[in-house]
Structures are given as structure tokens and as C-alpha cells.
């Protein structure tokens, strides 16, 4: 294989996956959420509300509405590389949403008129909402993806209650919650936890606060700085994703000069997590 093609292949595969993912999300919106008047949250949900009053194409409004989010993502998440992939995703998503009914591949009014089935299948297939804002919250505030989706999209769904009715809004909340869980599990795995390594001169004070307020066990190791030769205690602990922000706050309050590394583990067994004896 020529060197140019070999270098280009990973990028090509990236865009193939982006195309597939955006198409699946668009099908979920068009096939399950729109027929049942379930607001999907984020820009798509706002576009559904505007479409209800004006008849303007949902996909086109999604494309226009994502422009400011696109700029935010460019600024905070990944620069040019992020921008190109996001632009491709939004463009494909918008086109498929608007053009899918013209292809007559699926029933015009969706597969089923059962609102619960539409809610659950729409959540599982789409697995998302305002992805860019959710990722910003997750990246800079350590807020889990599930909570990020809820924070970003709840206002849109609340507004949809006045337009589509509160029954649809309640089912839309189910869709939002389930899609957030699906996204998080797909991205990180269902049993993912966080590991924290903290190098500090205030190990005792930090340990006491974590034990008392978070009820998490810790292990204190002895470390030596390679450059200074100074001995410092090192704290190791395992926490859930939702506890990362609380741990950071405790460490910063006690020792602002501490060095902390947050890692990821796919499974934790033992007290406070999955019981080891049941698995054995």
C-alpha cells in the first residue's frame, strides 16, 4: 500500500464511523422521536419545537442551530481536528433528517404509535442530545455524561411540555435519561470507575475528609520525588465518576499545591463496589 494511502486510511475510517453514527442518530430522530412528538433535547429538540409552529425543515434548523455550539467546541474541545469532524457529523445528520422521508424506506408516521416504545427505542438508537455542551461540561467540570445530558437538555424538554403536552415531556425525559446512560456505557463501559493518585504534603487531612465525607477507602503510599529527592506521601483511592468533582474540591481546599492524577479503571471489586465473592 502506498505511504500516502496508509497515512490517510485512519482519517478515512474516522469519517466513515462519523457518517454511520450521524445517520443512526438521524434515523432515531425521524423514526421514533418526531412521530411521537418527543423532544430529543438540545438543538434537535429546539428544532422540533420550531418546526411544530412554522413547518421549517428540522434538519436545516439543526444545521443552523449548531453553528454557535460548533464554535464553542472548536474553542474548548479540540481545535481544527474537532471542528472538521463535528462539521461532518452535523452536516450528515441534518441531511439525513430532512431527506429520509423522501426515500420512503420507513413508514412516514414511524414504526409504532406506542409512545413508550418510541421513547425507549429512540433513546437506545440515538444515545445523545447536545453532545458538544455535554462534552464541555464533562471535560472541564468532571460531570458524568449522563448528568451533562440532563443539565443541557432538560430546559428544552420542559419547554416541549407546553407545546406537545406534559405526557410527551415525561416520556421525553425517559428518552433523555436512557440515551445518556447508553452514551456513557458505550464510551466508557458499564463498570468504569475512576482512580485517583494524589501527591501531597497534607495526606492525613485529605484522607480524613475523604473517609468522613465521601466514605471511600484510601491507601497511603510512600513516594520520593525524582528531582528533589523529597519524600512525600502518595494517596491512592478509587471513586465513582460522579465523585470526581467532590474529591478535587476537597484536595484543592486542603492543599492547593497538591498534584492529582485522575485515571480510569474498567472494574472495581470489593467494599464499596461490586462484591468479589458473588462474582467468584
The beta strands (E) that lie in 43-185 are given as none
Tens-digit pLDDT profile for residues 187-203: 666 667 899 999 998 99
Tens-digit pLDDT profile for residues 19-33: 888 888 899 899 999
pLDDT at 132: 57
pTM for the model stands at 0.61
Distance CA 38, CA 172 (A): 5
pLDDT-above-90 percentage for the chain = 24
pLDDT at 280: 47
Distance CA 123, CA 185 (A): 13
Q: What are phi and psi of 259, to 5 degrees?
A: -110, 125
In 10 A of CB 99, how many CB atoms? 13
pLDDT at 50: 92
Distance CA 66, CA 45 (A): 12
The domains of the chain, with CATH numbers, are 3-188 (no CATH), 193-279 (3.30.70.120)
Per 3-state DSSP, the chain is made up of helix, strand and coil in percentages (nearest 5) of 65, 10, 20
Tell me what the pLDDT averaged over the chain comes to. 81
Grid coordinates representing 226?
525524582
pLDDT at 116: 87
pLDDT at 1: 59
pLDDT at 148: 60
pLDDT at 270: 76
Distance CA 154, CA 41 (A): 7
| DSSP string over 218-233 | EEEEEEE-TTT--EEE
pLDDT-derived band at 234, boundaries 50, 70, 90: very high
Pick from 270, 216, 260, 207: which is nearest to 238 by CA? 216
pLDDT at 146: 55
Q: Residues 139, 76: contact at Cβ < 8 Å?
A: yes
pLDDT at 3: 66
Distances (CA, A) of 21 to 15, 112, 264: 10, 23, 25
Burial of 53 (0-12, 13-18, 19+ CB in 10 A): exposed
More confident residue, 90 or 14: 90
Among 80-84, 101-105, 201-205, 261-265, the range with the most confident prediction by mean pLDDT is 201-205
Amino acid at each position: 500500500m502506498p505511504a500516502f494511502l496508509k497515512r490517510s486510511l485512519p482519517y478515512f475510517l474516522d469519517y466513515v464511523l462519523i457518517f454511520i453514527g450521524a445517520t443512526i442518530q438521524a434515523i432515531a430522530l425521524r423514526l421514533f422521536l418526531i412521530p411521537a412528538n418527543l423532544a430529543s433535547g438540545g438543538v434537535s429538540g429546539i428544532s422540533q419545537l420550531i418546526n411544530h409552529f412554522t413547518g421549517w425543515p428540522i434538519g436545516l434548523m439543526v444545521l443552523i442551530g449548531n453553528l454557535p455550539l460548533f464554535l464553542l467546541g472548536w474553542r474548548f474541545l479540540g481545535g481544527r481536528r474537532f471542528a472538521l469532524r463535528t462539521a461532518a457529523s452535523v452536516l450528515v445528520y441534518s441531511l439525513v433528517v430532512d431527506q429520509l422521508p423522501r426515500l420512503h424506506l420507513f413508514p412516514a408516521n414511524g414504526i409504532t404509535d406506542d409512545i413508550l416504545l418510541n421513547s425507549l427505542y429512540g433513546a437506545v438508537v440515538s444515545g445523545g442530545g447536545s453532545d458538544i455542551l455535554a462534552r464541555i461540561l464533562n471535560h472541564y467540570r468532571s460531570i458524568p455524561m449522563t448528568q451533562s445530558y440532563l443539565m443541557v437538555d432538560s430546559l428544552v424538554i420542559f419547554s416541549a411540555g407546553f407545546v406537545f403536552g406534559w405526557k410527551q415531556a415525561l416520556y421525553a425525559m425517559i428518552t433523555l435519561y436512557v440515551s445518556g446512560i447508553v452514551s456513557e456505557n458505550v464510551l466508557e463501559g458499564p463498570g468504569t470507575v475512576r482512580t485517583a493518585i494524589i501527591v501531597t504534603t497534607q495526606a492525613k487531612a485529605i484522607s480524613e475528609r475523604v473517609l468522613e465525607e465521601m466514605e471511600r477507602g484510601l491507601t497511603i503510599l510512600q513516594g520520593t520525588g525524582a528531582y528533589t529527592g523529597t519524600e512525600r506521601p502518595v494517596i491512592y483511592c478509587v471513586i465513582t465518576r460522579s465523585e470526581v468533582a467532590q474529591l478535587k474540591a476537597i484536595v484543592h481546599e486542603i492543599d492547593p499545591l497538591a498534584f492529582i492524577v485522575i485515571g480510569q479503571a474498567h472494574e472495581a471489586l470489593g467494599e464499596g463496589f461490586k462484591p468479589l465473592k458473588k462474582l467468584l
